[in-house]
Amino acid sequence: MNATRAATETPRKLVLITGISGSGKSVVMNALEDAGYFCVDNLPPELLPAFLEVERAKGEPQVAVAVDVRSTGSPSVLADLIRQLSGDGLQLRTIFLEASTEVLVRRFSESRRPHPLTGRASLDASANPLDQRALGEALALERDMMAEIRNLATVVDTSKLLPAQLRSAVRDLLSIPHGRLTLVFESFAYKHGVPLDADFVFDVRVLPNPYYQRDLRSRTGRDSAVMEYLKSQPEAQQMIHHIGAFIQPWLDDFKHDQRSYLTVAIGCTGGQHRSVYVAEQLAAWFSSQVVTLLRHRELGAGSSP
């Protein structure tokens, strides 16, 4: 199969992520996967046309492929493919990630992972194949090997970018809407422990307890009788207002922080009445503003005060 035929049958969008090792390719690929791209890491360039045809047949509209010095073999092969695919009208975007040598050395030191070229023989044919390069030498060699590809790409310097900033920068570069935040309200019983996935925890045990109302004991905070009882308690309404007023101003900030979920845990003693009611009311408050999920961890378990 020739490259021209493959290009005419490729997915609508293709993003190639490449660059210098340690510059943030994993961060970018995770961001693209969260944005709905089908992502493949470390694909040999020679397999790219066949891979794109397979994805076209599967109906994948957006594909992202990470290619680095481990998989390029001869970087000129990837450079030629970029030129061919770009010339055939594919919506191709190549992003080249790099960072200063000082920053890369620090990152490799912190991760304790070897550079992929530190164990390769020098390009000098007379060198001993068992020679090991210093990290600085490996980075210099990698920059030289990837120079042609860099000239064909949009360059992003990640030296001063935190992971969240890099994800945001790539989303802006590719005109990808920022991630959709899902707000989760979860009721729970303190006697069974605080949920491990909670971002915020609010204790509503100070509210009047329907458990001590004989006709409400066997019901839950989702039953109308319990709801009416707690609705008539000024403390319950004030608690709901205070929690909601705390969360409200920060919603946009959490969205821009690239979070997928924000979990607000509401706890009472048994997880049957007060926490359930408050979680239900807060979910109703925010459901028109953001995607909202509601979980009641303890419902179905035996109730107690």
pLDDT score at 252: 84
For the segment 93-110, the average pLDDT, to the nearest whole number, is 91
- Structural fold of domain 3-173: Rossmann fold (3.40.50)
Tens-digit pLDDT profile for residues 29-51: 998 988 888 999 988 888 888 88
Question: Does residue 302 surpass a pLDDT of 50?
Answer: no
Burial class (CB in 10 A: 0-12, 13-18, 19+), 49: buried
- The separation between CA 167 and the C-alpha centre of its own chain, rounded to angstroms, equals 8
Asked if residues 133 and 141 have their Cβ atoms less than 8 Å apart, the reply is: yes
For the segment 195-219, the average pLDDT, to the nearest whole number, is 93
pLDDT score at 122: 42
Q: What are phi and psi of 120, to 5 degrees?
A: -95, 155
pLDDT score at 110: 86
pTM above 0.75, yes or no: no
In this structure, are strands 91-98 and 200-203 parallel, antiparallel, or unpaired? unpaired
The residues spanned by each domain of the chain are 3-173, 182-296
Averaged pLDDT of the chain: 84
Q: Which two tokens stand for residue 56?
A: 């076209």
pLDDT score at 129: 44
| Element (DSSP H or E) covering residue 75 | helix 75-87
Query: Predicted confidence band at 72 (pLDDT cuts at 50, 70, 90)?
Result: low
| Element (DSSP H or E) covering residue 253 | helix 251-256
Distances (CA, A) of 155 to 78, 95, 107: 16, 6, 19
Asked if residues 14 and 93 have their Cβ atoms less than 8 Å apart, the reply is: yes
